[in-house]
Copies of this chain bind each other. A is one copy, B any other.
Amino acid sequence: MKVLVTGFEPFNGETINPSFEAIKMLPDEVEGAKIIKAKLPTVFRKSLCELEELISKENPDIVICVGQAAGRSKISIERVAINIDDAEINDNEGNKPKDEKIFVDGENAYFSNLPIKLMVKTIKEHNIPAEISNSAGTYVCNHVFYGLMYLIDKKFKNLKGGFIHVPFSHNQVLEKKNVPSMSLEDITNGLFYAIKGVLSEK
């Protein structure tokens, strides 16, 4: 069993991205499954090309992409990705698509095929706040989540995939007012138990 876990580069003026900082701290093996870690660029299209290459190369059983969700206070297991790019800020290469379909031959939306409720339950059993989220936004996170599920639908039919949003890490909010955050340890543990939840289903 092999699990590919991806994080993102920092964006929007941040110097770190807690999604990648946290996945780096995950063990290389969980319950006998090998954990492969990778960083994706915070760039429309390019992120998806790299994700597809990684899947082709690593041939994982499960893919979990992780991104930063400014302002949320809990680990969010995303339920659904929608077929739209609608950016309010530039990505890391200056792209800012508005109201564009991600794949013209894709479904309007794809649901995660991971056991999202079980993931939330497993994380919460270890005293880390977690919840289901019904929107991954319309920026690069949703783009990658949608692209992953599109790839599963069209090409990698046996693959399981989903997306997790994590809060800012503490060091990102030290100078911000009233913005929730979580320690990198908690975020890492949240992701660890999310993976355990996924593996316990199989």
A interface list, Cβ under 8 A from B: 71, 73-74, 79-80, 82, 84, 86, 99, 107-111, 117, 124, 127-129, 131-132, 134-135, 137-138, 170-171, 173-174, 177-181, 183, 185-186
List the B side residues contacting A84 at CB < 8 Å.
79-80, 111
Closest 5 A-B residue pairs measured CB to CB? A109-B109, A135-B135, A180-B180, A108-B109, A134-B135
State A114–B107 Cα separation when bound (angstroms).
19
10 further interface pairs, Cβ-Cβ under 8 Å (given A82-B134, A108-B109, A108-B110): A74-B173, A80-B82, A80-B109, A82-B109, A84-B111, A107-B107, A124-B174, A127-B174, A128-B170, A170-B186
**Chain B residues with CB below 8 A from A132, complex form:** 86
Contact A183 B180, beta carbon cutoff 8 Å: no
Query: Complex Cα distance A108/B80, Å?
Result: 9
CB < 8 Å: which of B181, B183, B186 contacts A73? B181
- Shortest C-beta distance, A127 to chain B (Å), equals 5
A127 pairs with B82, CB closer than 8 A? no
Report 11 cross-chain contacts, Cβ distance below 8 Å, ordered by A residue: A73-B73, A74-B173, A84-B111, A109-B109, A127-B174, A128-B183, A129-B170, A129-B173, A170-B186, A180-B180, A183-B183
Q: Chain B residues near A183 (CB, 8 Å)?
A: 127-128, 183, 185-186
Q: Which of A79, A86, A129, A186 has the largest number of chain B CB atoms within 10 A?
A: A129
